[in-house]
Amino acid sequence: MPRTRSLAWSELKIGLLSLLAVAIAMFLIFTLSGEGGFSWQQYGLKAMFTNVPGLKPGAPVRVAGVEVGTVTAVDLTGDKVQVEMKVSKDVQARITNTSVASLGSVSLLGEAAVDITPSSSGTPIPEWGYLRVVPTPGIAEVTSQATMGLQEATELVADIRRGRGTVGKLFTDETLYREINSFVVAAEQVATSINQGRGTLGRLTQDPAAAKALEASLQNLEAVTARIRSGEGSLGKLLNDDTLSNSLNAATSNLDAITGRINRGEGTAGKLVTDPELFNRLNSVSDRLDKLVGSLQAGEGTAGQLLRDKQLYENMNGAVAEMRGLVKDIRADPKKYLNVRVSLF
């Protein structure tokens, strides 16, 4: 009998140790696998994708790259794919209605995963609520874009070889190469001339007197601008004195008013611009003056002969001289010329 009780207790100890080892193993598996812990430590989420290449149940679910759960089901629902997942309740506050779910990859072999962007600004999604989904380019799309890029690069290299474009002409056109080479040689000669002090730039870089003269000119210009800013001179007053500005504005306003009156036909200038009758009169007077001047130049009339006939001019000049002499004599001896006799009958 004692021996039988000893065997039973030994078997019981072995069983207890086995159960404890299994429990520890399960705890380590749940802890190290990153699946979010036990079922009571997780909650469910859903997402509707248009395409889930390579995504299977058991795929990891990550928030900001940290694994927080696993995919539990991938089912077709109409034209879309519904993905159910279990995630840890510890990140429930970071998965809100502003978070976005997308497909990612675990490795270069293409193993799929669900990536969720964390967001604390929105409202946490309740259990088995739906996440917003953004389309993720698949491997086929990436491959297609890479193929298109390679094709474009190949076409670019082919165009360069055929001499198209500036780069192509630079590789294939000897004339362009010689022109660029000559340009480089000319630029080198200019740089050499400047280093040797030739020309204005050369003197400026090599001659201290030229540099000082330029510096003095810049100082004078700075002094002039300083005076203008301080309100000295006409330009300074124009920029700083409100009175001069107001005077210019008043003059401009007066000029606008005068031009407005002229356009409306007011005054002599306005009538001259807008009244055809006044213009015709002035034109007629101008024609008559032209005719009169033409007659005088032709020697017509007394005035014309006076201008053209030298003898008439001399006769009139002599008559005027004699008249002046007579007036002078009368003033000197008026009794000689003014003798009045009165007789009575």
Q: Which residue has the higher pLDDT, 5 or 223?
A: 223
142 near 110, Cβ under 8 Å? no
Give the start-to-end residue ranges of the domains of the chain: 33-136, 142-172, 174-206
Could you give the percent of the chain with pLDDT greater than 90? Answer: 6
Give the pLDDT score at 86.
Answer: 93
Q: Report the chain's mean pLDDT, rounded to a whole number.
A: 77
Q: Which pLDDT tens digit goes with each residue over 168-219?
A: 776 777 777 777 878 888 888 888 877 777 777 777 777 777 777 778 888 8
Instruction: Please enumerate in sequence order all residues whose Cβ is within 8 A of that of 228, keeping only pairs 6 or more positions apart, or say none.
Output: 235, 236, 239
Whether the predicted pLDDT of 143 surpasses 70:
no
d(CA 135, CA 103): 8
Q: Is the pTM of this model over 0.85?
A: no
What's the pLDDT at 121?
85
- Answer with the residue of higher pLDDT: 143 or 225: 225
What are 311-341's pLDDT values in tens digits? Answer: 777 777 788 888 888 778 777 777 776 665 5
Of residues 239 and 259, more confidence is placed in 259
Is the pLDDT at 276 greater than 50? The verdict is yes
Per-residue pLDDT reduced to its tens digit, 88-120: 888 888 888 889 998 887 765 567 889 998 988
Specify the higher pLDDT residue, 88 or 240.
Answer: 88
Residue 34 has pLDDT above 50, yes or no: no
Residue 233 has pLDDT above 60, yes or no: yes
Q: What is the mean pLDDT of residues 66-72?
A: 90
Residue 125 exposed, middle or buried by CB count within 10 Å (0-12, 13-18, 19+) = buried
Q: Is the pLDDT of residue 310 over 80?
A: no
